[in-house]
């Protein structure tokens, strides 16, 4: 019975061992995510009965009904932007580019709030549509290429299939095959 024990002291496996840099990055990401509820509820510390905030360093004036409301709108957009950015940069799936669609919507809404525009959340879809027109076909082509490789088909046969004219009903049927 010359079987070696499971607890080997001679060699340590380095497979999937996190290095110092990845541990620091992961720690920062966890810290940011853990702080998001506190950042969100920071709006409650702003004055609710005035539009002007004066300190010894600066004076801030808002067009909103109060600084409280302005901070509420601001934190309501900053937190999703932070979380979507973390998700986008840490996601390893092929579809992670589609996260840019809601991210761009929140960024446009955030810019409207920062510009003190009172009609935020109204026309951002006009700005998001061009982004969607680029991202959605791009992501679909990535998906098609991945599934084409999985089925051992090449992309040229897929493109040739797209060139054939089919009726609307035939296209719907093809989606569910």
Any domain includes 109: yes
Collapsed DSSP state (helix, strand, coil) of residue 123: coil
What is the span of the domain harbouring residue 71?
20-175
| Region for residue 27 given its phi and psi (left: phi exceeds 0; alpha: psi -120 to 50; beta: otherwise) | alpha
Q: What per-residue confidence (pLDDT) applies to 18?
A: 75
Any domain includes 30: yes
Q: Is 105 exposed, middle or buried (CB count within 10 Å of its CB: 0-12, 13-18, 19+)?
A: buried
Question: Domains in the chain: how many in total?
Answer: 1
Any domain includes 10: no
Tell whether the model's pLDDT for residue 4 goes beyond 70.
Answer: no
Average pLDDT over residues 88-112: 87
- Range with the poorest average pLDDT among 11-25, 45-59, 98-112, 125-139: 11-25
Q: What per-residue confidence (pLDDT) applies to 39?
A: 93
Cβ atoms within 10 Å, residue 79: 16
pTM for the model: 0.65
Tell whether the model's pLDDT for residue 17 goes beyond 90.
Answer: no
Tell whether the model's pLDDT for residue 140 goes beyond 60.
Answer: yes
Q: At what angle do helices 124-150 and 100-114 cross, to 10 degrees?
A: 160
CA distance 107 to 115: 12
| Cα 93-75-95 angle, rounded to 5 deg | 10
Q: What is the mean pLDDT of the chain?
A: 80
Q: What per-residue confidence (pLDDT) applies to 84?
A: 95
Q: How confident is the model at residue 41 (pLDDT cuts 50, 70, 90)?
A: very high
Q: What per-residue confidence (pLDDT) applies to 169?
A: 78
Q: How confident is the model at residue 176 (pLDDT cuts 50, 70, 90)?
A: low
Higher pLDDT, 131 or 148: 131
CA atoms within 13 A on the CB side of 37: 2
- Of 98-102, 136-140, 165-169, 172-176, the range with the highest mean pLDDT is 98-102
Any domain includes 14: no
Tell whether the model's pLDDT for residue 25 goes beyond 60.
Answer: yes
């Amino acid at each position: 019975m010359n079987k070696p024990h499971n607890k080997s002291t001679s060699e340590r496996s380095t497979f999937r061992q996190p290095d110092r840099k990845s541990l620091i990055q992961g720690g920062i990401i966890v810290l940011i995510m853990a702080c998001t509820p506190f950042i969100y509820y920071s709006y409650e510390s702003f004055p609710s009965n005035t539009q002007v905030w004066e300190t010894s360093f600066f004076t801030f004036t808002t067009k909103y009904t109060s600084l409280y409301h302005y901070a509420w709108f601001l934190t309501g957009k900053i937190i999703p932007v932070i979380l979507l950015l973390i998700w986008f940069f840490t996601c390893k799936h092929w579809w992670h580019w589609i996260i840019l669609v809601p991210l761009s919507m929140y960024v446009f809404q955030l810019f409207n709030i920062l510009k003190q525009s009172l009609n935020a959340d109204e026309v951002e879809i006009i700005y998001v549509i061009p982004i969607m027109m680029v991202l959605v076909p791009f992501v679909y082509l990535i998906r098609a290429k991945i599934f084409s490789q999985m089925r051992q088909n090449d992309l040229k046969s897929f493109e040739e299939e797209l060139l054939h004219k089919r009726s609307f009903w035939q296209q719907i049927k093809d989606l569910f095959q």
